[in-house]
Amino acid sequence: MKMNRIPKGCKNIGAGLAEAMERCRASFLSAFASYGYCPFWPSGLQLLETALDKLSPYLKRRIIPLSSPHGEPCCLRTDITLGVVAYCAAHHPPHERPLRISYVDRLFRIPSSPSYDIEGYQLGAELIGWEGRGADVEIISLLLEFLEKLGLRGYRLVLGDANVIATALEGVPTPISEELLSCLQDGNYSAYYATLKKEAIDGDRRKLLQALPNLKGAKNVIDEASVLFGSFEPLASLKSIADSLEELGYGSISFFDLGLVRELGYYSGPVFDIFLEGVGVPVGGGGRYDRLLAQYGVLGQAVGFALNLERLASALSRSDSDAVPKLLLWCGLSSPSDTVALARHLVSLDIGVEMSWHNDASVALDLARQRGLSWWCDASARIVKSTKDQTALSLDEWLLEVRR
Amino acid sequence: MMLSIVLPTGRVFDEAAEVLREIGLPTGKLDHKGRSLVIEDGGWRYFLAKPMDVPLFVHSGIADIGLAGSDVLWETNATLIELADTRRGLCRLVVAGPQTVAPRFMGHESALMWLKVATKYPRIADSHFSSKGVQVEVVHLHGSVELAPRLGLADCILDIVQTGATLEANHLTVLEEVTPVSLRMVASRYGIQRGWSSILPLVEKLLDVTKERSPQGE
């Protein structure tokens, strides 16, 4: 068989993973639409001048440039938030804010080792122009509600705050504070401590900076940090978010990392990462990015997040493969119209159905096994069989069973 | 909660096991590992992997912690948290070559343009020479790098050196020091969030023992 090759770093996604990705996409857009988030479809190309002017230093290094057929220097879409903010700033006057936007789309970036992927899929949401303390809690809690509805298990939210680190570094000469920040961003704690050791930093501040990356864990690390800071003031946002998440029942999945730095110079307040069980790197995250908003002449807060759709869907297909009962419906001696009518009825009961028009029941049963479907149904006899052990039930009994 | 640690096999395995012993982890079964690549001992799970694969095991979340050379970390560029320098497995990453190439390293950097460099570390070679503004031809080999200049495959090599005996045996001399190398303790971003209360004491103990071992007490 001849195969058409595709460029290295690109993918055709089908079968179970595509199905899981579509399930995440549909569930995400619908969950956020219920709370007033409008879908947004960004342009596939971005002007290079805009990307170079507005993207974070990390993303600037990952731009894939090209020229449009009109001769404009462009890049493939590197980041969706940029498109969202630019659109909102240009199309919505101040009295229309706050704006709530959700998106699911493809991104293109120069791969970062050890990955080879140049294209990826992202889902995300942005709450733009809201100057109230609930905005962070709104977006984080909606994200957690969505993950919960997906049926994922073992995920965790890790929160930090760019302002906490900035306060800890107050008074430290700029080159040293930049070096320390960069060490934290790169996850190089040994370089962080080596820098701290060789620089002249006063006693209390040194003690605070020494402790900062170690303050990881449950909500009590905020109290521990307040002792080192001498007050709760720099921790106020984080504490307020922590209290709200606890009240909403998310206390057990919320963790805090006061050394958490996401994309230097881009985030300006609370930041967070989402981890899935057993995956070394975050599936995504977000935070407050008021500075980008200001660059577009919009005053106020912006908070948002983005998740890697493919990674999320992989975890979903691992943890929840039988979430929707599915069966292969064999027409048997039943007429096509009766079979289709029965299929419609089953779909209306939230059961996934694939029809088989083959004359031979055993071929249809093999097909069900090949598809990884747990159930096979003879439409004319209204009998359901398990594809694993051949146990049979009447369709009515089976419906009672799966719907229970 | 059982944490997992990935250890490099080969040259640095003994030193990695020694680090674990020093910080109080059970290592009895590592002494008699046989051909086993997964070893459970006293509530810890150890994976044994090729040194170059250790960062990927940690990055992907298969292991919470790993011990890897700083050369390997630089080369693989995986997203990891570097927790501490063990100050073990000490060696140097150098550019070495025959004496005939030495003059090119003594004058202006433009003399290095299009040098042919054989190495197991193509990313480091590229990054090192790029930082000097020099473009070189990198010849990626997987072993016996020292052969390359002798057989005319490359002008010089970029490789790690411990005693210098292998270089000497192949008529090569150090032309340039790139960076010192040592064994580092690393963790995944997920690992530090999942098991920080277990990981932090290990890091603190490691910093204590490295301080004691250091002649300056640093």
Chain A residue numbers with beta carbons less than 8 Å from the beta carbon of B86 are none
Question: A170: which residues sit within 8 A by CB, 6+ positions away?
Answer: none
pLDDT of residue A295: 85
d(CA A161, CA A222): 11
Angle at B161 between CA B109 and CA B6, to 5 degrees: 115
Query: Taking 90 as the threshold, does the pLDDT of residue A324 lie above it?
Result: no
Q: Which helix (H) or strand (E) holds A337?
A: helix A336-348
- The better pLDDT of the pair A138, A388 is held by A138
In the beta sheet, which residues pair with residue B218? none
pLDDT of residue A157: 97
d(CA B65, CA B36): 19
Chain A residue numbers with beta carbons less than 8 Å from the beta carbon of B68 are none
d(CA A217, CA B68): 26
| Coil/strand/helix, residue A126 | strand
Average pLDDT over residues B104-125: 93
Query: Taking 60 as the threshold, does the pLDDT of residue B56 lie above it?
Result: yes
Question: B184: which residues sit within 8 A by CB, 6+ positions away?
Answer: A190, B67, B68, B69, B70, B73, B82, B83, B84, B85, B86
In the beta sheet, which residues pair with residue B179? B93
Helical segments of A73-229, H only: 80-91, 134-150, 162-168, 174-186, 189-198, 203-211, 220-229
> Is the bond preceding B51 in cis, omega lying within 30 degrees of 0?
no
Q: How confident is the model at residue B215 (pLDDT cuts 50, 70, 90)?
A: low
Instruction: Establish if A112 touches chain B: CB-CB under 8 angstroms.
Output: yes
Query: Taking 60 as the threshold, does the pLDDT of residue B216 lie above it?
Result: no
| % pLDDT > 90, chain B | 82
Residues 66-105, chain B, touching A (beta carbon < 8 A): 76-85
Query: Taking 80 as the threshold, does the pLDDT of residue B7 lie above it?
Result: yes
Shortest distance between the Cα of A278 and any Cα of chain B, in A, equals 5
Average confidence score pLDDT of chain B: 92
| % pLDDT > 90, chain A | 76
Tokens for A287, please give them: 């935070």
- Contact assignment for B83 to A217 by CB distance below 8 Å: no
In the beta sheet, which residues pair with residue A46? A75
Average pLDDT over residues B23-29: 91
Average pLDDT over residues B29-33: 83
- Contact assignment for B82 to A280 by CB distance below 8 Å: no
pLDDT tens-digit map of A91-112: 988 888 899 999 999 999 999 8
Question: A242: which residues sit within 8 A by CB, 6+ positions away?
Answer: A159, A219, A222, A254, A256
d(CA A351, CA A133): 42
Average pLDDT over residues A231-240: 93
User: Could you tell me the CA-to-CA distances from B94 to B3, B86, B112, B123 in Å, in that order?
Assistant: 35, 21, 15, 14
- Contact assignment for A191 to B82 by CB distance below 8 Å: yes
Query: Taking 70 as the threshold, does the pLDDT of residue A319 lie above it?
Result: no
pLDDT tens-digit map of A138-151: 999 999 999 999 98
| Coil/strand/helix, residue B161 | strand
Average pLDDT over residues B91-108: 94
- Contact assignment for B188 to A280 by CB distance below 8 Å: yes
- Contact assignment for B82 to A187 by CB distance below 8 Å: yes
Q: For the sheet with A392-394, list strands across it.
A: A352-356, A326-330, A375-378, A383-386, A392-394
Nearest CA in chain B to A184: B81
Average confidence score pLDDT of chain A: 92
pLDDT of residue B23: 94
Q: How confident is the model at residue B173 (pLDDT cuts 50, 70, 90)?
A: very high
- Contact assignment for A187 to B61 by CB distance below 8 Å: no
pLDDT of residue A1: 65
- In degrees and rounded to multiples of 5, residue A392 shows phi and psi of -115, 145
- Contact assignment for A275 to B60 by CB distance below 8 Å: no
| B100 Rama class: left (phi>0) / alpha (psi -120 to 50) / beta | alpha
Query: Taking 90 as the threshold, does the pLDDT of residue B190 lie above it?
Result: yes
- Contact assignment for A282 to B190 by CB distance below 8 Å: yes
In DSSP notation, B47-60 reads: EEE-GGGHHHHHHT
Chain A residue numbers with beta carbons less than 8 Å from the beta carbon of B123 are 113
Strand B173-181, strand B44-49: pairing: unpaired
Query: Taking 80 as the threshold, does the pLDDT of residue A325 lie above it?
Result: no
- Contact assignment for B190 to A190 by CB distance below 8 Å: no
Q: How confident is the model at residue A16 (pLDDT cuts 50, 70, 90)?
A: confident
pLDDT of residue A330: 95
d(CA B135, CA B132): 9
pLDDT of residue A401: 87
The answer to whether the CB of B173 falls within 8 A of the CB of B146 is no
Query: Taking 60 as the threshold, does the pLDDT of residue B166 lie above it?
Result: yes
Tokens for A130, please give them: 């809201």
pLDDT of residue A321: 53
d(CA B54, CA B48): 8
Query: Taking 80 as the threshold, does the pLDDT of residue B213 lie above it?
Result: no
In the beta sheet, which residues pair with residue A384? A377, A393
Query: Taking 90 as the threshold, does the pLDDT of residue A298 lie above it?
Result: no
Query: Taking 90 as the threshold, does the pLDDT of residue A290 lie above it?
Result: no
Instruction: Establish if A378 touches chain B: CB-CB under 8 angstroms.
Output: no
| Coil/strand/helix, residue A250 | coil
Tokens for A238, please give them: 């984080």
Q: How confident is the model at residue A303 (pLDDT cuts 50, 70, 90)?
A: very high
Pick from A112, A113, A216: CB nearest B192: A216
Query: Taking 90 as the threshold, does the pLDDT of residue A392 lie above it?
Result: yes
- The better pLDDT of the pair A350, A109 is held by A109
The answer to whether the CB of B64 falls within 8 A of the CB of B187 is yes
Pick from A114, A216, A279: CB nearest B190: A279
User: Could you tell me the CA-to-CA distances from A32 to A38, A330, B143 in Å, in that order?
Assistant: 8, 38, 54
From first CA to last CA, the distance across chain A in angstroms is: 45
pLDDT tens-digit map of A370-379: 988 889 999 9
d(CA A304, CA A141): 12
Query: Taking 90 as the threshold, does the pLDDT of residue A202 lie above it?
Result: no
Q: How confident is the model at residue A326 (pLDDT cuts 50, 70, 90)?
A: confident
The DSSP output letter for A217 is E
- Contact assignment for B81 to A217 by CB distance below 8 Å: no
Instruction: Establish if A65 touches chain B: CB-CB under 8 angstroms.
Output: no
pLDDT of residue A286: 96
Helical segments of B118-157, H only: 122-131, 147-150
pLDDT tens-digit map of A20-56: 999 999 999 999 999 999 999 999 999 999 999 989 8
Amino acid sitting at position B14: D
d(CA A261, CA A162): 7
